[in-house]
Structure 1
Amino acid sequence: MTLPRGADFNPPWPLTSGHIQTMLSSSGVRRQLLPRAAQAVREGAEETMVDGGDGVRLTGAYTAQKTLPQARGLAVLFHGWEGSVDSTYVLQTGSRLLAEGWDVFRLNFRDHGDSHPLNEALFHSCRIDEVVHALGDIARRWPSRKLVLAGFSLGGNFALRAALRAPEAGVPLDYALAVCPIVDPGEGLFSLEESAPWFYRAYFLRKWRRSLRAKQAAFPHRQYFELDELKQNLRGLTESLVLRHTDFGSLQAYLDGYSVAGAALERMQIPATILTARDDPVIPVDAFEKLQLPPCVELDIAPHGGHCGFIRGMDMTSFTDEYIAARFNALAD
């Protein structure tokens, strides 16, 4: 069986632009143009809460497949930063996997979706322990023939770190796939501040500030931030919250804490794939080319696709759905 490769993605103009791919990936226009089938994973979904350990509660949605007599397995999906289980790319991928005979679990990270009131402490990107614990809880509650994981952007970073820790944590994970994961957070943050067009910074800051205000409203007795801090740029606000709410002594120590750059993935035991695009304007491709990977980890750099885009045409469907489904199916079959 020949699996699709990133080089197989050849979109028509103007979708050859990484910026257009990136802007369309999470746009309201895309959600409106997508076929109805791209939302099928929401039909009959069971909204639930999972155990993140130490009293942490995370929310998610489980949907059982009805295509095959027996499910191929359980596919867990991780959204990106300030996304949710209802992000367009999560719904589209989940719906494709459902049609292929996979049960699907979509997990919200802490303080994502509408989960701000559940845990008093703020989300940050080094909270991998609770995500791995939640993955173990999901595996116990919905045992399956195969357990596979896919994540996008920051969710791709979490997916790789979860796969790295899964054997030691006793999580029966069989395979992980990361789409445009954050590799070197320090380089990525610098890229957003210094190199990427201003509207990317504006997009992420607007969503993050809204999330922080929702957190403050959920716990009015806590002071999560000073109002002046919300006016800072991405780097400044990140540093303020790191120093105020974590044990990391510096911004760089925090960024290093969730980096998967260099040799960080050399100890990976679980088969994994990293798909990214050379024209991604958010995550520089250089970090991927410097990765030191074991034989079980496949790195696939497509010429086009932007940041978590890979949109094929005017129907707004994504090449990543086919890519992920093909690799998951090959594992199950």
Structure 2
Amino acid sequence: MNLPMGSDFQPPWPLRSGHIQTMLSSSGIRRRLLPRRAHRVQENAQEVLVDVGHGDRLSGRFTAQRTGRESRGLAILFHGWEGSVDSTYVLQTGSRLLEEGWDIFRLNFRDHGDSHGLNEALFHSCRIDEVVAAMGEIARMFPARAIGVAGFSLGGNFALRAGMLAPSLGVPVDYVLAVCPIVDPSEGLFSLESEAPWFYQAYFMQKWRRSLRLKQQAFPHQTYFELDELRQNMRDLTRSLVLRHTDFGSLEAYLDGYSVAGDRLMDLHLPATILTSRDDPVIPVAAFDQLRVPPNVELDIATYGGHCGFIRDYGMTSFTDDYIAARFDAITR
């Protein structure tokens, strides 16, 4: 079986620009131009609250496949930072896998989507334990003959770390796929500050500050940040988050806490795929070039695609739909 590869993605000009790919990936323009079939995963979706222990819950949406045949398995999808279960790329991937006969579970990370009022403590990127716990509970609620996990950006980082932890915790996972995952958080943060065009940091900071305001409204008795802290840049606000709301003693220790750089993925023993692009303006490709991965991990670096874009034409459909569907298909054969 010949699987699509990143080198197969050859978009027309001007979609060969990594910046255009990145800006279009989550744009309202793209959402309006997508065909109706890209939203099918939202139809008859069941809202689910997932118990992750310690009184905390994560929210998600489950959609059962409707092909009339036996389900091929369960696909669990992770969005990126400040995305949600309704992010365009999640809907498009989920809808495609639904057509292929997969049941779909789209998980919101803590404080993403409409979940700010569920848990008092803030989201941070080292909360991998609750995500793996959620995966175990999802597998219990929706038993499947195969379980595949796909994540995008920060969600790709979570997917890779979950793939390393799940087997030892008895959480059934058969395959993990990460699109443009954050590999070295310290390098990524530095890149957004000093190398990427200013509007990327402005975009993420606007979404993060909005999220923090929603959190404060949900728990008015808490003081999550002082006003002057909210005016800080990304690095300093992240440092305030670490010192106020985590057990890490420094920003550097926190960023290292969710890094998968260097040889850390040598502990990933599940079949896995990492897809990224050389023209990603958000996550530097150098971190991928320096990765050491075991033979069961496929590292695929495309020339084009931007950050979680891979938009192949002016209909705004994504190459990753075929890419992910083909690899999920392969694990059931």
Compute the displacement of 1:9 (Å): 0.2
Counterparts of 2:53 and 2:332, CA distance in 1: 30
Corresponding residue for residue 78 of structure 1: 78
Structure 1 length-normalised TM:
0.99
Corresponding residue for residue 92 of structure 2: 92
Corresponding residue for residue 241 of structure 1: 241
- Residue type of the partner of 1:89? Y
**C-alpha distance after superposition, 1:257-278 (max 9, x if no partner):** 0000001110111110000000
2:266 matches 1:283: no
Q: Which 5+ residue runs of structure 1 have no aligned equivalent? A: none
2:212 matches 1:212: yes
Corresponding residue for residue 142 of structure 2: 142
- Residue type of the partner of 2:162? A
Report the 3-state secondary structure (helix = DSSP H, G, I; strand = E; otherwise coil) of the residue aligned with 1:265: helix
**C-alpha distance after superposition, 1:73-122 (max 9, x if no partner):** 00000000000000000000000000000000000000000100110000
Structure 2 length-normalised TM:
0.99
Corresponding residue for residue 158 of structure 1: 158
- Residue type of the partner of 1:170? G
Compute the displacement of 1:285 (Å): 0.3
Compute the displacement of 1:67 (Å): 1.2
| 1:180-191 map, 5 Å | 180-191=180-191
Compute the displacement of 1:223 (Å): 0.4
Corresponding residue for residue 313 of structure 1: 313
- Residue type of the partner of 2:81? W
**C-alpha distance after superposition, 1:163-213 (max 9, x if no partner):** 000111101100000000000000000000000000000000000000000
Contact 1:53–1:134 under 8 Å retained in 2: no
Counterparts of 1:296 and 1:229, CA distance in 2: 44
Compute the displacement of 1:68 (Å): 4.2
Compute the displacement of 1:58 (Å): 0.2
Counterparts of 1:68 and 1:203, CA distance in 2: 42
Compute the displacement of 1:43 (Å): 0.3
2:245 matches 1:250: no
- Residue type of the partner of 1:213? R
Counterparts of 2:221 and 2:127, CA distance in 1: 23
CA RMSD across the alignment: 0.5
2:197 matches 1:197: yes
Counterparts of 1:68 and 1:82, CA distance in 2: 35
Counterparts of 1:91 and 1:324, CA distance in 2: 13
Corresponding residue for residue 64 of structure 1: 64
**C-alpha distance after superposition, 1:259-303 (max 9, x if no partner):** 000011101111100000000000000000111111110000000
Identity of paired residues, percent?
74
Aligned pairs, number: 333
- Residue type of the partner of 1:245? H
Contact 1:77–1:94 under 8 Å retained in 2: yes
Corresponding residue for residue 41 of structure 2: 41
- Residue type of the partner of 1:137? E
Corresponding residue for residue 302 of structure 2: 302
